Structure 1
Amino acid sequence: MKIESLIRENIRNLAPYSTARDEYSGNLGIYLDANENPFDSGINRYPDPHQRSLKERLAQIKGVSPSMIFTGNGSDEAIDLMFRIFCTPSVDEAISIAPTYGMYKVAAAINDVKLVEVALDEDFALSAAKILEAVTAQTKLVFLCSPNNPSGNLLSGSDIERVLREFHGIVVLDEAYIDFAAQGSSFLSKIVDYENLVVLQTLSKAWGMAGIRLGLAFASELIISTMNRVKYPYNINVLTNRVALENLYSIDSQLTVIVSERERLRQEFSKFDFIKTVFPSDANFLLIKVEEPRKLYDRLIDRGVIVRDRSRIAGCEGCLRVTVGTPEENSKLLEILGDYQ
């Protein structure tokens, strides 16, 4: 497979914007090159357009080369770039599973790319055969989310690998919730084996930094370098970069609590008659099927608890998605559910 041939011709020929910080990247000197305010406030200078120090730290944590890391304004920026780099508007197509994260569909629509949704099998299982059957000559991207949102389950590793082997396009594997799954579930180490694999992760979930909007993409140096050429020059601001570096410490203790609380909620939910199904989860949330989803949702709102109503999504009829909170928040939720019966 020639990845270069999958990239749109205008993107292959793109001469990216060159910033003042591209022309000089040292740390000493009087900066009179970027028309900045010269009075130091901590934020008066433009940020490093390549986030070098942040990528070096992430490389240590993730065990990959900095040149194989893209940092974006949330994972949504990386998703959008996939369409902009690989899909010609009104010509090319993409595939996603369903139900899944809604931004794949939104980004496809924004970029005028047809998105074909392939329904997951029973219990939200991935079928590589069904994905491959949906591929046409115009299909350039396949989006898979594992653990999936809103179902919470890991997708079959063997089916993911079959898609990677047999689909001659780019496979985007969204691992936003992978930190909550069993160790060894991530496909991050496989980016050296599959040049058509792009793995998305984020600091918004397990790392507790949703407010700074920092998403990560891991792929071959060719794909990452192309993403860096297409992105806006200063896509990660000084404050986001600083906060990320200050907070990239061990999260093991928090993960232990969240996973333990997920199991507690699963067990307690199964005791309520009005909760018909508690779906298995490898994420930090549980999808539950209930008798009257909107009634229960409204009751929780009345008591000050907000969950996500997913009952209008095909494949999630009658379902609410409940994020695992702190032990105290979870106890309050269970108390309210006990009063609901």
Structure 2
Amino acid sequence: MNIQDLIRPTIKALKPYSSARDEFQGNSSDMVFLDANENPFENGVNRYPDPQQRNLKAILSEIKGISTKNILLGNGSDEVLDLIFRAFCEPNEDNIIILPPTYGMYSVLANINAIGIKKVNLTEDFQIDVDGVLNMADANSKVLFLCSPNNPTGNSLISKDIEKLLIKFKGIVAIDEAYIDFSNDKSWLNRLKEFPNLIVTQTLSKAFGMAGIRLGICYASEEIISVLNRIKPPYNVNELTQKKAVELLTDKSIAVNEIKSILVERDVLKSELETISFISKIYPSDSNFILAKVDDATKRYNQLIDKGIVIRNRTTQPGCENCLRFTVGTSKENKILIDTLKSI
């Protein structure tokens, strides 16, 4: 597959903006910076951040075993996803394929970018209809979005099905691994070199507990990363986000211990949910949440709201009629949830 054939012609012809910090890449320790029209009075954030986030990428490279040349960072995963649309999808011409029920921002971003949406629902057990996807694709189907573990269902998609699509789909296959740290399945990062059309997105918002700093990660071939770098805003990840991410990633044991705790609590929560009379089914989860089918999702959602507990009502999603999604909280929070469910 020739990735260049998938890139929008206007993007290939684009001369990217060159920021002051892009042009100077030397040792900055003893330099006097009078190039970027910044306020010269130091307060910790008066200078523009590193547009390539070099220190942060170096840490992620070590953690994930991926070269920094294969990493792009964004202002949350949503910016990363939006860049994929802008690079590969021609407005009012191209389309994407999504597999409902799935993450809602794929459709939102498609609509914002005037991109068509083709939908192939997951099967009854929330797996990929591979033939359905390949039959739905046409010459203008540029990106296939797969979410694994899937949101809102919680399950991982079958690896051999994903592999078939990576081989046969004639466009970009973007695998959203926002919840991969809670799964026993291996990340697709290890197979980037096998598939030139593979993009893997991850986030620090879930397992690493950094939702508040908004940091999304894109892993792909150097060729794809170079394209996305051409069109990203020059200073898209702010200085405070970069510093906080570096600080929190330096001690990896924190995230490791928190993930272990969440997985233990997930099992406890699942066992307790099985005792609730109006819950008829609990779906397998490889994530930090559990999807459950109840007798009346809207009624039960409102009852919990009245008791001061906020969960997610997913009943409007395909295959998720009367389903509620419970995020795994702390032991204390989960006990409050279970006690409340038993009381209503």
1:135 is aligned to 137
Q: Which moved more, 1:29-38 or 1:311-320?
A: 311-320
Instruction: Specify the alignment match of 1:161 in structure 2.
Output: 163
Letter aligned with residue 8 of structure 1: R
Map of 1:285 onto structure 2: 289
Cα distance in structure 2, aligned partners of 1:133 and 1:156: 19
Compute the TM-score of the two structures, normalised by the length of structure 1.
0.98
Matched to 2:23, the amino acid is E
Aligned equivalents of 1:29 and 1:301: distance in 2? 56
Equivalent residue, structure 1, for 2:61: 59
Q: How does 1:265-284 map to 2 (within 5 A)?
A: 265-284=269-288
Q: Give the aligned residue type for 1:76.
A: D
The alpha carbon displacement at 1:314 in A equals 2.1
Question: Does 2:301 align with 1:300?
Answer: no
Q: Secondary structure at the match of 1:297?
A: helix
The aligned counterpart of 1:74 is 76
Secondary structure of the structure 1 residue equivalent to 2:324: strand
- Whether the 8 Å contact between 2:124 and 2:319 is mirrored in structure 1 is no
Q: 1:258 aligns with which of 256, 262, 266?
A: 262
Q: CA deviation at 1:285?
A: 0.2
Q: TM-score, normalised by structure 2?
A: 0.97
Match of 2:94 in 1: 92
1:316 is the counterpart of 2:331: no
The CA distance in 2 between the partners of 1:18 and 1:260, in whole Å, is 48
Deviations 1:200-245 (A, max 9, x none): 0000000000000000000000100111110000000000000000
CA contact 2:204–2:215 (8 Å) conserved in 1: yes
> Aligned residue for 1:241?
242
Q: Residues 100 and 317 of structure 2 are in contact (CA less than 8 Å); yes or no, is this contact kept in structure 1? A: no
Alignment partner of 1:337 is 2:314: no
Residue identity opposite 2:113 in structure 1: N
Question: Does structure 1 residue 15 correspond to structure 2 residue 19?
Answer: no
Per-residue CA distance 1:23-74 (angstroms, 9 max, x = gap): 1123131101011010100000000111111101100001000010010011
Instruction: After the TM superposition, list the runs of 4 or more consecutive aligned residues in structure 1 that deviate by more than 4 angstroms.
Output: none
Q: Superposition pairs for residues 187-266 of structure 1, below 5 Å?
A: 187-248=188-249, 249-250=251-252, 251-266=255-270
- Separation in 1, partners of 2:98, 2:298: 27
What is the one-letter code of the residue matched to 1:131? V
Using the TM superposition, give the Cα deviation of residue 168 of structure 1 relative to its aligned residue in structure 2, in angstroms: 1.4
Aligned to 2:176: 174
Paired letter, 1:207:
F
- 1:39 corresponding residue in structure 2: 41
Q: Distance in 1 between matches of 2:217 and 2:181?
A: 14
Task: Provide the C-alpha distance between the structure 2 equivalents of 1:31 and 1:261, rounded to a whole number of angstroms.
Answer: 51
1:123 Cα deviation from its structure 2 partner = 1.5
Deviation of 1:127 (Å): 2.1
**Equivalent residue number for residue 105 of structure 1:** 107
One-letter identity of the residue aligned with 2:173: V
Residue aligned with 1:286, SS: strand
Cα shift at 1:112: 0.5
Aligned to 1:5: 5
Paired with 1:155 and 1:123, the residues of 2 have a C-alpha distance of 10
| Alignment RMSD | 0.8
Long gaps (5+) in structure 1: none
Contact 2:175 2:200 survives alignment (8 Å): yes
Instruction: State the alpha-carbon separation in 2 of the partners of residues 86 and 228 from structure 1.
Output: 13
| TM superposition shift of 1:302 | 1.3
Cα displacement string for residues 80-139 of structure 1 (whole angstroms, at most 9, x for unaligned residues): 111111011111111010000000000000010101111000121112222111111111
Please point out which of 121, 124, 127 is paired with 1:125: 127
What residue ranges of structure 2 are gaps of 5+ in the alignment?
Answer: none
Please give the alpha-carbon distance, in whole angstroms, between the structure 2 residues aligned to 1:12 and 1:221: 15
How far, CA to CA, are the matches of 2:244 and 2:128 in structure 1? 37
d(CA) in 2 for partners of 1:185, 1:54: 23
Q: Is the 8 A contact 2:120 2:129 kept in 1?
A: no
Partner residue in 1 for 2:50: 48
Secondary structure of the corresponding residue to residue 266 of structure 1 = helix
Distance in 1, matches of 2:285 and 2:152, equals 10
